[in-house]
Amino acid sequence: MKKILVLTALFFLALGTVSSFAQNDKQPTPEEIAERDTKALAKKLNLTEAQEFYVDSILTVNYVGVMAALEDMQKAGMQDPETYRAVNEQWQKKNLDAMKKVLDEQQYIGYLRHIGKGKEYKKGKDGKWYHKSELKKQNKSSQ
């Protein structure tokens, strides 16, 4: 059971969730985590109300789904960490694919950076995200 909780916490961290527990030390539900993450993303990415609704829906469905998948694996007696990682990666991909449909390009890059991916992007002087190779080209051409 501890292994599942650790892997679940790692999954939520990989999706950008800050692991914090309520004052009564009760682990937050996937829905609560999705709501908290949605609020943080709405501020960080300047989401419209419609985008915020979709992001909340995506995160809720996917967080509940990964928790159910991990619990099913635990009930079946699976103990191989690679299997848990594979399920985790599958749900991360679902999240990324869904977010790509809802967010514009700049927001999606910001989302990637928020979850610890997208390290190949950097903000330019204009505040927009650019691939690092593009910034190098821009800097060379402006000199």
Tokens 């928020």 sit at which residue?
114
Query: Per DSSP, what are the bridge partners of residue 122?
Result: 130
Written as one string, the DSSP assignment of 33-93 is: HHHHHHHHHHHHHT--HHHHHHHHHHHHHHHHHHHHHHHHHHHTT---HHHHHHHHHHHHH
- Mean pLDDT calculated for residue range 38-53: 96
Q: Summarize pLDDT for 66-89 with one digit per residue, the tens.
A: 999 989 998 999 888 898 899 989
The whole-number pLDDT of residue 18 equals: 42
**What is the reported pTM?**
0.76
